[in-house]
Amino acid sequence: MKEYFKNVPTIKYEGKDSKNPFAFKFYDAEKVIMGKKMKEHLPFAMAWWHTLCASGTDMFGRDTADKSFNTEKGTMAHAHAKVDAGFECMQKLGIEYFCFHDVDLVPEADDIKETNRRLDEITDHLLEKMKETGIKCLWGTANMFSNPRFMNGAGSTNSAEVYCFAAAQIKKALELTVKLGGKGYVFWGGREGYETLLNTDIKFEQENIARLMKMAVNYGRSIGFTGDFYIEPKPKEPMKHQYDFDAATAIGFLKQHGLDKDFKMNIEANHATLAGHTFEHELRISAINGMLGSIDANQGDYLLGWDTDEFPSDVYSATLCMYEVLKAGGLTGGFNFDAKNRRPSNTYEDMFHAFILGMDTYALGLIKAAELIEDGRIDAFIEEKYNSFTHGIGKKIVSNEATFEELAAYAEELGQTKEPQSGRQEYLNGIINSVLFR
């Protein structure tokens, strides 16, 4: 078997004092935290597109990284080499899942029938490797944003013909997800949005997106897909207005169209911050609606206004994320590193450093979130904060037994409220620091 990353050994846990760049400092897969192994808390996934396809091209310059894997790019030989390289990468890191778009796997042909044939061929290879290694598919999706035909949208397109191509791509991607035993199927609405109202019928476009999703659910269930469908909210980029702006917007849309039983959220950290929210806000909104499904683990840059898809290094954010995940009882999905190296970090070694960084960051987040829960002061503060609703008139309100007349009479009898109770934000921030840095 050919080895693509010869300079990189299998990555092992060596502990926080290790200076070995090819070792985990915090991610100890077998370590038990709150009754579960780290690797069960953190089902990490490799994103096919960033790891095996993205080579550093940006708007200002071409590839800096070599992802040819000793083949000619754009050929099926390249597609097959990517499979072998991808599995070597995951095995060396102990990553047990991968995520893919259809067109990450094979070069798109001029005729969709030929593209589908190539997809059948490559997924046979994938299946073989999955059986050999025990590595699994977290989720699949269809790329309905790169091909120029989707410039006016996929589900939101003005062209019925293009709509059929979107349906055909989803149909095939669902079949492949089922073939590979994927746990989920993602809709990220890359071109589902608009630039100007002068040429857009929002209502019509949104209804058509819902129709496409309904057909996808019906078809998926008919071919044995029992997993979750996900919406991955994002507020902007590539479109000025994306319809799935944030979790609240996407959840409202799903409820409006009766899709909420089949869908959950796939929350991406960098998308959350682009929407003007914290990552943990998006996770909490999903969780309280019973829709926290999966996570695209990455981070943005507060100085840049776009989706930089960096590997996570921010332990503070990862801790608050894992706090939400633990409180929600874990994810049904996993943690997909929808993340890429910075353009000048262009070697295979950098690729592994990036994954080690991301996995260690989430391991630390998990350890610290568990400590925060055990510490109990934040929970205790929140419980105390809403204490007035546990008895007397408060209890009556939350049991839906109170009337407006009664509440108004209660207020009149008091004449004035007590001193307002402090929110104690600085005290609470201090707790986080004391747990993080002890």
Residues marked active site are found at 101, 104
The set of residues, in sequence order, having a beta carbon less than 8 Å from that of 198 and lying 6+ positions away, is none
Q: Decide: is 310 part of the binding site for Co ion (CB under 5 A).
A: no
- Paired with 185 in beta bridges are 140, 229
Residue 13 or 48 having the CB closest to ligand XUL: 48
Residue 88 or 268 having the CB closest to Co ion: 268
Ranges within 316-335 binding ligand XUL (CB under 6 A):
none
Minimum distance between the CB of residue 98 and ligand XUL, rounded to whole angstroms?
A: 13
Residue 101 has φ and ψ, to the nearest 5°, of -95, 150
Q: Decide: is 299 part of the binding site for ligand XUL (CB under 6 A).
A: no
Q: How many positions of this chain bind ligand XUL (CB under 6 A)?
A: 10
Minimum distance between the CB of residue 51 and Co ion, rounded to whole angstroms?
A: 13
Q: Sign of torsion, CA 97 100 104 106? A: positive
Ranges within 237-276 binding Co ion (CB under 5 A):
268
Binding characters for Co ion, 5-34, by CB under 5 A (x = yes) = ------------------------------
- Determine which residue in the list 192, 280, 338, 360 makes contact with Co ion, applying CB under 5 A: 338
Q: Decide: is 309 part of the binding site for Co ion (CB under 5 A).
A: no
Q: Decide: is 188 part of the binding site for ligand XUL (CB under 6 A).
A: yes
Question: 270-290 b/e with 16+ CB inside 10 Å = b?
Answer: bbbbbbebebbbbbbbbbebe
Q: Decide: is 104 part of the binding site for Co ion (CB under 5 A).
A: no
Q: How many positions of this chain bind Co ion (CB under 5 A)?
A: 3
Residue 262 or 296 having the CB closest to ligand XUL: 296
For ligand XUL, the binding residues (CB under 6 A) are 101, 141, 186, 188, 232, 234, 268, 296, 307, 338
